A and B are shown apart, each in its own frame.
Chain A
Amino acid sequence: MKESDKKVVESSVAQSSEPKPATVAPVTETSNPVTAVASEAAGPTPDFSKFKPSNALLKQREWKSRIMAGVIGLAFVVAMIPLISLLWTTIARGVKRLNLNFLTFNMSGVIGGMPTPSGGHGGIEHAIIGTLEVTLGAILISVPVGLMCAIYLTEYARGSKFAKAISLLVNVMSGIPSIVAGLFAFSLFAILMGPGVSNGFEGSVALSILMIPTVVNSSVEMLRIVPDDLREASYALGVTKSRTIVKVVLRTALPGIVSGVILAIARVIGETAPLLMTAGFIVTTNWNLFSGQMTTLPVFVYQEYSKMSVTCPPNAGPGCVASIPSERSWAAALVLIAIVLVLNLIGRLVQRLFSVETK
């Protein structure tokens, strides 16, 4: 059903865009086929009555417009189906296991589908801690670097060759596949610190590779919209450049930069593949970012998904739940989605609440 809808959209768009003119100007387009015919057929004295639009033609164009509106509306509906389905399933299946016990216990002592002594079936406390620490590490690396890079690009080297090269590379860097960032962090630590190293900080390094371009791009945009009058006023008062940047420019652009950073966090907090190969996976809580493996929420979701189900022995009793890994996976996914959505909301809220002052 869905697929056939898409096909309809595809074919109709392809057909209708076929006679599309190269030029933008609407005047030439409407008269284009007409004049072409006229110069061939009628010669120097065109018969203008010929060009009077017939009723049928007008109707046809009207209908075409309506059909295209329908097709575009259909495309929208088709696109919304997966979103609604995704959110609905995650919420519906996630709330089943989402309770305080799930949030405050880790996976140590969990055997198969049997309930743990605490009364639950294991939880994601360790994964939440891991996610927070690894992401915090990535923030601490990428925000200063990204912000200073943006300051260099906007305040010190507008338009120089070096700056152009940097901004091009930042753009290219924003397209690095997350798994390549993970491989990089893995190689870096394996070569510098010996093979077999796996800790949370390694994951932070991988995430910061993904985060820096986002921070740079959003900060550059925000610094650019700070009016030059402010800078000039500050210089006219005899304030040094660094002080002007810190006290005037950055303070003005702060809300935008903060919201950009929050959106960047929301992006990297859900990364799975690079953490799978750097931060690793354990069942117990690890508070130390620099030593030992750390579980993060996305990795937890994946690990529980790949377990799929456990076998319950016949004498296990009603407490044993065979489908518990899948249920844990959905509950953790719900927590992850909630974190990402809340971060997005906060980012946009900051942007909206404070952006008025910059203008």
Chain B
Amino acid sequence: MANTSESSSAGQAMPVAVGQISAGLSAPGGGGTDGRRNGLDFSDAKPGRHSQDKIFHAVAVGCGALILVALGAVVLFLLLRAWPIFAGPQAKTSAVFASLSGGKAHGFWQYVGPLVFGTVVIAALALAIAFFVAVGVALFITFYARKRIQTVLNYVVDLLAAIPSVIYGLWGALVLVPATYPFWNWVSAHLGWIPLFAGPAANPPRTVASAAVILAIMIMPIITSMTRDIFAATPRLNQEAALALGATKWEMIKLTALPFAKSGMVSASMLALGRALGETMAVMMVLSPGMTYSWHWLQASKSQTIAANIAAQYPEADSLGVSALIATGLVLFVITFVVNLLARRITRKGGAR
């Protein structure tokens, strides 16, 4: 490829290239799509186009397009496989929903309603628990820990985020759930007058509250690592200015870091919420499922999430049952899609960086 230009005399090739570059310079922004190159578009400055080049370009574009195709295919194939449950005869589908829900639901929305409710409640509860602790940890790492400890802690947080959910589930079901019964029992005894904590607390507490705690532990590192990065990016000058004006350390954080990181914190928690909404194994292994719209967090068999329900029912479901489960999966997909889209929107608008 490069040989062709070498074999022709160098004196011939050079002026052409220089001429093209200067032409690019004289018309700034004319050819170049990229602002970083000051309008220089080097795609014209090469000695001729080669077929290898074209193939490479085409493959790159194709792989980019493949992302679109893949996402489209996810929706398409889920719809195709879920279709029988919408198109099938009424009597048959309602029988499927009745068998899946233990006779409680007879239509799709009747079936998916409590599941959506459970998914949203558990994920929101997890976020409420995790958010403040996660931000606290991020603040501790960026503003209170020493430099050497900082790197260790950063590594630990990333490790926490990498631990597989099935291990969180295993630990949650065998260690955390039995260990927290006294606490839940105490809560239901002393705060039982609040409907949310109405007793008696289930023993073992395979409840919405326990599932939310497990999910909170799982999403905490995600929020921490993202907010930590934003806190670390807080302008140094702002911090120093605040301290110079006599602000205490907390006032400095409150005045500089928190407002700066606000949009980042929101979008991090949205992403974590998306993760919590789709989490399967930990919820399935900890929660005792139920199909009701119940706010009693400390009682067993009240709620179930979409993802856990799919994984739990899937092995025993017949063909039409699988269609029904895939239809609920589509609903989950839509919910997480919206949440993630919102998270990205907020990041872009806030422009923390």
Interface residues of A (CB under 8 A from B): 1-3, 6, 9-10, 13-14, 16-17, 20-24, 26-27, 29-30, 61-62, 64-65, 68-69, 71-76, 78-79, 82-83, 85-86, 89-90, 144-149, 151-153, 155-160, 162-163, 165-166, 168-181, 183-184, 186-188, 190-191, 195, 209, 212, 216, 228, 231-232, 235-243, 245-246, 263, 266-267, 269-273, 276-277, 298, 301-302, 305, 326, 329-330, 333, 336-337, 340-341, 344, 348
Candidates B78, B247, B340; contact of A175 at CB < 8 Å:
B340
Does B271 reach chain A (CB closer than 8 Å)?
yes
A305, B174: Cα distance in complex, Å? 9
A79-B137 contact, Cβ under 8 Å, with A16-B254, A159-B33, A340-B162: yes
Q: Contacts of B141 on A, CB cut-off 8 Å? A: 76
Residues A160 and B255 in contact, CB atoms below 8 Å apart? no
Residues A156 and B132 in contact, CB atoms below 8 Å apart? no
The residue on A at minimum CB distance from B135 is A13
Q: Contacts of A231 on B, CB cut-off 8 Å? A: 42
Residues B137 and A235 in contact, CB atoms below 8 Å apart? no
A122, B65: Cα distance in complex, Å? 46
Binary interface profile of B, 153-179, with partner A (CB < 8 Å = 1, else 0)? 001101110111111111101111000
Does B316 reach chain A (CB closer than 8 Å)?
no
Does B307 reach chain A (CB closer than 8 Å)?
yes
Interface residues of B (CB under 8 A from A): 1-2, 5-6, 13, 17, 33-37, 40, 42-43, 45-47, 50, 52-53, 55-57, 59-68, 70-71, 73-74, 77-78, 80-81, 128-129, 132-137, 139-141, 143-144, 155-156, 158-160, 162-171, 173-176, 180, 183, 187, 213, 217, 220, 224, 238, 241-242, 245-256, 258-260, 271, 274-275, 277-281, 285, 307, 310-311, 314, 319, 325-326, 329, 332-333, 336-337, 339-341, 343-344
A232-B344 contact, Cβ under 8 Å, with A237-B2, A348-B155: no
A179-B164 contact, Cβ under 8 Å, with A187-B81, A231-B42: no
Could you show 14 A-B contacts with beta carbons less than 8 Å apart?
Answer: A6-B129, A26-B252, A27-B241, A61-B248, A65-B249, A68-B250, A89-B174, A169-B67, A172-B340, A180-B74, A191-B77, A232-B42, A242-B50, A277-B314
A232, B60: Cα distance in complex, Å? 20
Residues B247 and A26 in contact, CB atoms below 8 Å apart? yes
A266, B163: Cα distance in complex, Å? 9
Residues A179 and B34 in contact, CB atoms below 8 Å apart? no
A90-B167 contact, Cβ under 8 Å, with A1-B183, A168-B344, A273-B307: yes
The residue on B at minimum CB distance from A71 is B136
Residues A175 and B271 in contact, CB atoms below 8 Å apart? yes
A62-B248 contact, Cβ under 8 Å, with A20-B258, A180-B74, A216-B67: yes
Residues A166 and B183 in contact, CB atoms below 8 Å apart? no
Residues B77 and A178 in contact, CB atoms below 8 Å apart? no
A75-B67 contact, Cβ under 8 Å, with A26-B256, A179-B311, A228-B36: no
Residues B245 and A72 in contact, CB atoms below 8 Å apart? no
The residue on B at minimum CB distance from A19 is B254
Q: Contacts of A245 on B, CB cut-off 8 Å? A: 56
Q: Is chain A's binding surface mostly helix, strand, loop or mixed?
A: helix
Minimum C-beta distance from B153 to chain A (A): 8
Residues B278 and A180 in contact, CB atoms below 8 Å apart? yes
A271-B46 contact, Cβ under 8 Å, with A64-B248, A76-B136, A177-B333: no
Candidates B33, B50, B180, B341; contact of A157 at CB < 8 Å:
B33
Q: Contacts of B77 on A, CB cut-off 8 Å? A: 184, 187-188, 191
What would 12 more interface pairs be, CB under 8 Å, given A30-B247, A180-B74, A212-B67? A64-B248, A75-B140, A149-B66, A160-B33, A166-B68, A177-B280, A187-B78, A212-B70, A238-B47, A301-B170, A302-B166, A340-B162
Residues B170 and A156 in contact, CB atoms below 8 Å apart? no
Candidates A22, A27, A79, A272; contact of B133 at CB < 8 Å:
A79
Minimum C-beta distance from A211 to chain B (A): 12
The residue on A at minimum CB distance from B282 is A272
A187-B278 contact, Cβ under 8 Å, with A26-B241, A232-B42: no
Residues B164 and A6 in contact, CB atoms below 8 Å apart? no
